[in-house]
Amino acid sequence: MPVASAAAVLLLGASLAVAAPEPLLRIQDPALLESSGLAVSALHDGVLWTHADGGSVAEVRAVDRSGATVAVVTLAGVDPYDPEALAPGRAPDGTPQLWLADIGDNLAERADVSVFRFDEPRALTDGTVTATWFRFTFPDGPHDAEALLVHPRTGRVFVATKQVSGAGLYRAPRELVPAGAGGNRLERVADVPSFVTDGTFLRDGRFVLRTYTSLYVYERPGQQVATGPLPAQPQGESIAVDGKRLLVGSEGVNSAVYAVRLPAPDPADPAVTGNPPSDESRREPWWREGRLAVRFAAAVIALVGIALLLRRRHRPRTNVVR
């Protein structure tokens, strides 16, 4: 949703972003104009995996330190609807894997969404892989989502929805059922900020969610421990963990990938320290405030999004594996 998303940034806090540092790299591939997911390769030093938002072919692309595409990997027989996220994981035997999440649903009309898991290619060459397909269903109706996270130790899968209000973090069952054998019902486990565009787990089990302008660090679902601003980007869509730093990407021509530090922990809760809460601490987060400006912004975003979507060619289908 380029126009609607841009409106969201302008109306709901682009000023919160910080000046951008020197980029780690710039993605050169015109096929990645709408780069939407990011994962650090576990097998190839200095390589990032990413993918385009939408498209008629399910594929991921390997990008090196120069920003050049060095491999294109296609998922065999997959007809995508709206791929939005890419996450790293590992098989029980330690084999590095990638998860491509086809979870976008701008019109909130999909009965279920799809996630594809496959082994990370050991050779950086163009090719085709066979992926395991999983269907996920939200317990409270369809949602648009752009963030999929895989726990580094347990392999548990989480999805964060992208909404103006009422966004949530959902957990998949511990044991996933492949699409041919049934579906997987998600469980809502926590609220999350508005406009989450991606997320990633850290090695210690904490996780990070990003919006267009900010980072949110969680000790566990529902327990936020740190927040921080992000570099200003045209449309910040992706995040990955690379050792002790985070990498954040965006859509756009020659889009930059920046390396950022984890934000420092938030001040201790006054209820724990014994200090009286300040006026600021009593305020609701900005995404929950019922003020006129926020309501107006939400209305404008909705109108812009609807106008865009009415112009966009509608593809009323679900994923098909041929």
In which band, very low, low, confident or very high, does the pLDDT at 17 lie, cut at 50, 70 and 90? low
In which band, very low, low, confident or very high, does the pLDDT at 200 lie, cut at 50, 70 and 90? very high
> For residue range 132-189, what is the model confidence (pLDDT) as tens digits?
999 999 999 999 999 999 999 999 999 999 999 999 999 999 999 999 999 999 999 9
> For residue range 213-244, what is the model confidence (pLDDT) as tens digits?
999 999 999 999 999 999 999 999 999 999 99
> For residue range 22-56, what is the model confidence (pLDDT) as tens digits?
899 999 999 999 999 999 999 999 999 999 987 78
212 or 3: which leads in pLDDT: 212
From 214, 208, 280, select the one nearest 245 (Cα to Cα): 208
Kind of pairing, strands 59-63 and 69-75?
antiparallel
Q: pLDDT value at position 309?
A: 44
What gap in Å lies between CA 184 and CA 175, rounded to an integer?
A: 9
SS3 299: helix
pLDDT at residue 276 above 50?
A: no
pLDDT at residue 90 above 90?
A: yes
Q: pLDDT value at position 305?
A: 52
Q: Would the CA dihedral through 119, 207, 105, 308 be positive or negative?
A: negative
What structural domains and CATH numbers belong to the chain? 2-321 (2.120.10)
> For residue range 53-85, what is the model confidence (pLDDT) as tens digits?
877 899 999 999 999 999 999 999 999 999 999
Q: pLDDT value at position 303?
A: 47
Q: Beta partners for 312?
A: none
